[in-house]
Amino acid sequence: MITQMKKFIRQDTTLTVLLGLLIFLILLFGSILQDKFFSFDNIQSMGYQIPEFAFLALAMSIAMITGGIDLSVVANANMAGIMAGYVLTGAVFGLNSGMSDLTLVIIAILVALIVATLGGVFNGILIAKFSVPAILATLGTMTFYNGISTAITEGKGVVGFPDNYLSIGTSAPLGIPLVFYIFFIAFAVVAFVMVRTPFGQSIYLYGENRIASLFSGIKNEKMIIKTYALAGFLSGIAAIIMTSRVNSAKYNYGDSYLLQAILVAVLGGINPNGGRGKVTNVIIGILILQILQSAFTLFAFSPYAKRMIFGFMLLLIMVINFIIDKWGARSKSIAKDSEVVPQEAK
Amino acid sequence: MPGNILEANNISKTYGGVHALDNVSMCIKAGEIHCLVGENGSGKSTFVKVMSGAITPDNGEITLNGHTYRSLNPIDSIREGVQVIYQDLSLFPHMTVAENISMNKMVALGKKLVNMAEVRKTAEEQLARIGETMDLDCPIDEISMANRQLVAICRALSLDAKLLFMDEPTTALTNIEVDRLLKIVLELKEKGLSVVFISHKLNEVFEVADTITIFRDGRKVGDFNSKELSYHSLIYHMTGRNVEYPRYVRKATDDNIRFEIRGLSRPGHFEDVNVKMRRGDILGITGLKGSGREELALSLFGLNPSKSGQVIINGKTVSIHSPTDAIVSGLSLLPEDRYTQALFPTHSISENISSASLPSITTKAGLLDRKGERQNAINMVAKLHIRTPNVETSVQNLSGGNQQKTVIARWVLTDPEVLILDGPTVGVDIASKVDIYEQIQSFASQGMSIILISDELPELLANCNSVMVMRANKVVGFLSNEELEKPDAADRLQSMMSGGGDDFQPSIPVLEAQA
Amino acid sequence: MKRLKKYINQNEWYLMGIILIYSIIVTTQNSGFFTLENFFDVLKGSSGMIILAMGILVVLLSGGIDLSFTAIAMFGGYSAARLMMATKIDNLAFAFVVSAVIGILLGAVNALIIHKFHLPTMIATLGTSSLFSGIMTTFIGTKTITVGMMPKSLRAFGGFRLFEMVNDAGSTYGLTVFIIPVVIVVVVTWFILYKTMLGRGVIALGNSEEAAKRSGFNLFWIRMFIYTYVGLLAGIMGVIYVAEVNSVYAVALYGTELTYIAAVVIGGAKLTGGEGKILGTLLGVIIVRLLNSTLVFLGLTSSWNGFFTGAVLLFSVGLTSYMSRLRSRRNLTFTD
């Protein structure tokens, strides 16, 4: 039993640390806030809030596993949300087009997903075909997509969506929010794809050493475009969830999610240098962040205090990871010292 | 004792219970060239690090210029005139030649401000000392590897080096550049500098060394006058056994042409290459760096498009535009640079082996067959004698030789018709080398056609049943199996590579223009 | 010509070309663009960005990135203004000292975290950015400082002109006093980078950390300099920002840091370190500011700012990256 546990800990230190932290936080807040924390309302509201930024965090995570980053996730989501919003408010088809609300909603969802996916494809092309470093490419598209949103809306919100669109964000079959089901399914699918398909394996290999993956016959360029398209698609889902929850779309909605998405990815053990990290661990990162969020709300902390604590958390996790790595590296470096040290591929 | 610039007494260093250095003593005389040889992990690098003050030994003392140190720190080491040129050279790629030469001196002098005139003067002086000139304002990343090596030497000289350690200085150089470098090293020796030279290339060791110290398993085997040693006795001392490379004999009976290159050209890279191969052929391709051999290999693998000519496999002309195309057509390439082009260091052996065969371990449902992946890896580990506790170990924890075997396993798993091996034993110790040669020969015996690109003549002579020589982007010679078995084969290859024994051809500028 | 080539690189010629063409187009559309008054306006609007851009250039040259400078600028500027209001010390020098000290201290925090724990600079400063902004808003306050509350010295500083002129419509305009700190910061940055060993150390670090260490540079103090210098510049910029705008919102600049970095990147600095120049950085800032402040002359609202800035950024990084891709394919290194 103990040896099994030791083996488990050694196999995935990130998971162990995260699970420990999660349990600690649940116990901590549970004992302080007691019924307030474990109330149905609180748990259900977590179920509503998690998916909103979880999709952005997921998009960020897969980009980071390739050794890149996607700074455009929020801007892309807003752009998609605004386009969908125009469909929903009748700006595209006119108010008297005779289309049923349901048709409009379906078109709007498709528009959001297509726009966001195209946004991702554009990122992918810049990175794969023009060799723009991901951070610069997505910094550029972040500004650009945001610019498109601002320009076409002139900075105003697109508001007033049909009820059946809003029900995406508000309905809760069996007491569990619909968006939570979507979140759960999407994560399961992405986690499965990452671990069990050649596409997922290629992402990891590329993230570790992209010259070696090129020499291994992996179609780097196609794979990168697909990965960023997937990140875009996930941003599109986030767009639908965000707009349906707040009944509006705006160019600067969810600005703070960019930081949170990176934070959760790093918290979940995604290595910013690429090639390492598990999507399933990111879920635990998301749960931790959400538990903190909810507890802070119950404590009536200001959003500013939350920001402070999140910043602190991010640093703390990075420092802990650093210490664990150093400790792990020391115990491993037996008799390897005098070998030619490989220069890490850039 | 006068005349000794360095005396190391009973130096020991252990890491996690393993002796990296075990009671090593050594003297280095003023004005001698002293070579350290030994296999990877034998303790040479640890010894250099101890002498530079980068690591503190557990036991022993070091005497430099008559001053004895129990624990030497880097500043004392530099003050005593010890300079180390590491294999990666530690230059600043976006800074100029002048700045790279002078930077360390400026730092050492504790300068606060930069005086460009002084920086240039220092650089000019040091270049003059080795009798070279260079564009002082050229950024380092725009000059050749050979010139970078010279910049690193000048930088060391600027700090009044009395004892210069050079770790594998010739790895990235062409033979002509190596000659130029060795000439400079010999000149520096004439001027009284002591040089400690670490190299895997034993011919270079014999060329320059006054004294050779051999390391094995963290211990010193002995100091030898270089004239006392022969190639074979040196290898015997390094490995502790007599190493004989088995000579390959083709046994296949099917003499149909399986692989053919017809008039393949890419101007400036390689011109009018023609090759015909049967099952079980091992064709050596040799030539200096920049002769076109690597460019040709990359072209066959779809990474360097040719302008004209054809590649024919099993009678069908194939068009290869990417490594994926190449693998599908039955052509695989083991790239030259293991660390940057082949390894996924933190991934497992199993994932490293499967990386070029993902399509073949994908089920009809589009999923990876992880069990099959693992089984493949287990088979390969057994077949290639990869020393590892299991296939889940990440490759970064393997020795260089086992890493290389892992990468070879990756390519063998793609079951190629033609396997191109570009420098399969670079940076691999002799024991693994023997293993790798045996495997290459057994793959060929089982029917694979192998192209072996190498500039190690013993490697070519042991494994190939024909060798093609390239020089200045052209095929300049071809030795058949019978010719390879003659005693003059090595000399013939050597002279074809460098151009008919003409040592003074001015080809360095040409090579630089290509770099 | 060869001398000129040494000082102005290809990228900088492109940028000057873009600025020239843009200026010609706007001038043909609207004669109000090519006037001294507009020039002074653009200059005033660019002041804060130029100061921060110098700091960003230093960080990028060292191979790092800093996302916390906007948080530091607001921390410094806002706290200084609040402190002046609370203590009734209405003195400009006091504001600069307070803000600069805050900037240096916060920069030192960045340097310590980055150096001691070997964290990727982007993630580390992303964290400190939230931390700093959160600490300020939680412990110092979030109250917006309106024009009526603003200390007089700051307001005077914001409106002060070195000399004044009168335009055709009869209103006065002139050269902002901000030009003084801007010129000082540019000259000092140039001096440090090119004339001191400290600056060479920053660039050496950006070229190769290992080589810089082996050269004998003290990387701890170099990092300390880099991040405290950015902090100092952010502190100075904070005061200028507070003086420039009439009402100060506590988290005003927070979240705009990537725009500043974009300007420096357009100017040719590489995120991989060791490459980037002061002239290019200035040109990058000018392009971004021109696009941000002169679109009105083309009849476009400020809503189009992001669109054009993004387009220019994508074009410039796309072009340079594609060039290096072609080079790496030609050399058969496949690194890009």
Q: Work out how many CB contacts closer than 8 A connect B with C.
A: 65
B58 alpha-carbon distance from chain centroid: 31
Question: Strands B331-334 and B219-225, how do they pair?
Answer: unpaired
Contacting residues of A for C258, CB less than 8 Å apart: 71, 139, 142-143
Domain B259-341+416-514 in the same topology as domain B4-239: yes
User: Is residue C108 assigned to a domain?
Assistant: yes
Q: Where are the domains of chain B?
A: 4-239, 259-341+416-514
Measure CB to CB from residue A340 to each of B43, B46, B400 and give the nearest one. Answer: B400
Q: d(Cα C208, Cα B93) in Å, to the nearest integer?
A: 8
Cβ neighbours of residue C270 under 8 Å, at least 6 residues apart? C60, C276
Q: Report helix angle A13-33 to A303-332, nearest 10.
A: 150
φ/ψ (deg, to 5) at B259: -135, 130
Structure confidence at residue A37 (pLDDT): 77
- From A208, A217, A342, residue closest to B324, measured CB to CB: A217
pLDDT over 70, % of chain B: 95
Pairing of strands B18-29, B4-15: antiparallel
Residue ranges of chain A with per-residue pLDDT less than 50 = 332-346
| AA identity, residue B52 | S
Q: Which CATH class is domain B259-341+416-514?
A: alpha beta
pLDDT of residue B500: 52
Chain C adjacent subunits, 3+ CB pairs under 8 A: A, B
The set of residues, in sequence order, having a beta carbon less than 8 Å from that of B491 and lying 6+ positions away, is: none
What is the pLDDT at residue A346? 31
pLDDT category of residue C324 using cuts at 50, 70 and 90: confident
Q: pLDDT at position C6, please?
A: 67
* CA–CA distance, B509 with B515 (Å, rounded to integer): 10
Report the pLDDT value the prediction gives residue B508, as an integer from 0 to 100: 31
- Does any CB of chain A come closer than 8 Å to the CB of residue B11? no
- CA A20 vs CA A13, A57, A61, A187: distances in Å: 10, 21, 22, 22
Q: What angle do CA C85, C87, C90 make, to 5 degrees?
A: 60
Structural tokens at position C144:
């917006």
Domain over B4-239 is classified CATH 3.30.2130.10: no
The per-residue pLDDT of chain B, averaged, comes to: 86
Nearest to B334 by CA among B260, B443, B241: B443
pLDDT given for residue B301 in this prediction: 93
Enclosing H/E stretch for B309: strand B308-313
Q: What angle do CA C304, A78, A292 make, to 5 degrees?
A: 130
Closest CA to C233 of C67, C80, C53, C64: C53
| DSSP output for B70-128 | SS--HHHHHHTTEEEE-TTTT--TTSBHHHHHHHHHHHHTT--B--HHHHHHHHHHHHH
In C, minimum Cα distance to A313 occurs at C127
Q: What gap in Å lies between CA B367 and CA B361, rounded to an integer?
A: 8
> Nearest CB to C138: which of A137, A140, A304?
A304
Q: Is residue C12 part of a domain?
A: no
Give, as one character, the DSSP assignment of residue A89: T
How deeply is B225 buried, as exposed, middle or buried, from its count of CB atoms within 10 A (0-12, 13-18, 19+)? exposed
Strand partners, B316: B313
Shortest Cα distance, chain B CAs vs residue A332, angstroms: 8
Q: What is the pLDDT of residue B16?
A: 66
Residue B509's pLDDT is 32
Contact call for residues C61 and C226 (beta carbons, < 8 A): no
Along chain B (515 residues), what's the average pLDDT of each consecutive run of 10 residues?
A: 79 79 89 86 84 87 89 85 87 92 89 90 90 88 87 90 88 78 88 87 83 87 85 79 80 87 91 91 87 90 90 91 92 90 92 92 89 92 88 86 92 93 83 88 92 87 91 88 86 76 35 31
Write out chain B residues lying below 8 Å of A342, CB-based. 338-339, 343, 345, 396
What number is the average pLDDT over the span C178-201?
A: 94
Tell me, what's the pLDDT at C215?
Answer: 86
Nearest-by-CA chain C residue for A322: C117
pLDDT of residue B413: 93
Structure-token match 């900088």, residue found: C12
Query: Cα(C248)–Cα(A248) distance, rounded to whole angstroms?
Result: 28
Domain boundaries, chain A: 42-255+272-278
Residue pair C120/C217 in contact (Cβ under 8 Å)? The answer is: no
- Coil/strand/helix, residue B4: strand
Summarised one tens digit per residue, pLDDT across range B88-100 is: 888 999 999 999 9
d(CA A338, CA A283): 41
B431: helix, strand or coil? helix
Domain that includes residue C65, residue range: 37-294
Output the CA angle B214-B218-B220, nearest 5 degrees: 35
Q: Which residues of A touch B343 (CB under 8 A)?
A: 209, 212, 342
Of the listed ranges B208-212, C56-60, C115-119, C331-335, the one predicted with least confidence: C331-335
- Distance, in Å, from the CA atom of A87 to the CA atom of A109, rounded to the nearest integer, reads 9
Q: Who contacts A78 (Cβ-Cβ below 8 Å, separation ≥6)?
A: A145, A146, A149, A239, A249, A250, A251, A252, A253, A254
**Are A216 and B15 inside 8 Å of each other by CB?**
no
How many C-beta neighbours within 10 Å does residue B372 have?
15
pLDDT for residue C188: 97
Distance CA C283, CA B504 (A): 50
Within a domain: C204? yes
Using 50, 70 and 90 to split pLDDT, how confident is the model at C122? confident
Would you call C88 helix, strand, or coil by DSSP? coil
Residue A319 CA: distances (Å) to CA of A21, A316, B513, C118, C223: 15, 5, 47, 9, 18
Are B340 and A218 in contact (CB < 8 Å)? Answer: no
pLDDT of residue A1: 54
Gap from A70 CA to chain C (nearest CA, Å):
13
C-beta of residue B381 within 8 angstroms of C-beta of residue B388 = yes
In the stretch 164-203 of chain C, residues with CB closer than 8 A to chain B read: 194-201, 203
- The confidence score (pLDDT) of residue A197 equals 93
- Chain B: list its partners (3+ Cβ pairs within 8 Å): A, C
Interface of B with C in 330-349 (CB under 8 A): 341
Q: Read off the CATH number of the domain in which C280 is found.
A: 1.10.3470
Q: Is any Cβ of chain B less than 8 angstroms from the Cβ of A39?
A: no
Q: Is residue C195 part of a domain?
A: yes
Q: DSSP labels for C180-240?
A: HHHHHHHHHHHHHHHHBHHHHHHHHHHH-HHHHHHTT--HHHHHHHHHHHHHHHHHHHHHH
Mean pLDDT within C198-215: 92
pLDDT at A10: 59
